Copies of this chain bind each other. A is one copy, B any other.
C-alpha cells in the first residue's frame, strides 16, 4: 500500500491478510522488539519514529490481561470477543475469534457468545456478526480441530 496501488497481500485469503497486516504494522509501530526497555528500532524505509514507552507498555498490558488467572484464558478471550463485538471493531473481533479457536472454543460456544453481543449491542452488531462468522469459517480451515 505504501508504494502504490498494489497490496502485498492480494494473493492471501482473509485470514492470512489479517495476520500479515497485523504483523507488519505491529513491527512498524513497536519495532522489531516489543520489549518496552529496548530503544525504538529504525524503520527500514525512513527511520520513522515509532511507539513511545507508554505505547509499548500499553501493548504489553493488552496481552497480559488475557493470561490465565482466577479466570481461565478461554473465558477471558470470550470476554474480549464480546467486548469487541458490542464496540463493533472487525479487526478486534477477528483477533479474539482466532485466540478463542486456539483455546478450543466450539462453534456452539461461539454462537452463544454472539447471542449475548447481539442482545446487548442490538441489530447494529449484525453486519459485524456476518463478517465475524465469515472470518471464523476461514480461520477454522487454517486451524485443524
A residues lining the B interface (CB < 8 Å): 1-5, 10-14, 21-22, 25-26, 28-29, 45-46, 48-52, 54-55, 57-59, 61-62, 64-66, 69-71, 75-76, 78-80, 82-92, 106-127, 129-131, 133-134, 137-138, 140-141
Give the chain B neighbours of A133 by CB distance below 8 A.
Answer: 25, 28-29
A-B contacts, 9 of them at CB < 8 A, read A2-B13, A2-B138, A4-B13, A25-B131, A49-B107, A50-B111, A65-B116, A92-B120, A120-B122
- CB nearest neighbor in B for A26: B130
Known contacts A49-B111, A58-B61, A70-B106; A91 and B129 CB within 8 A of each other: no
- Copies of this protein chain in the complex: 6
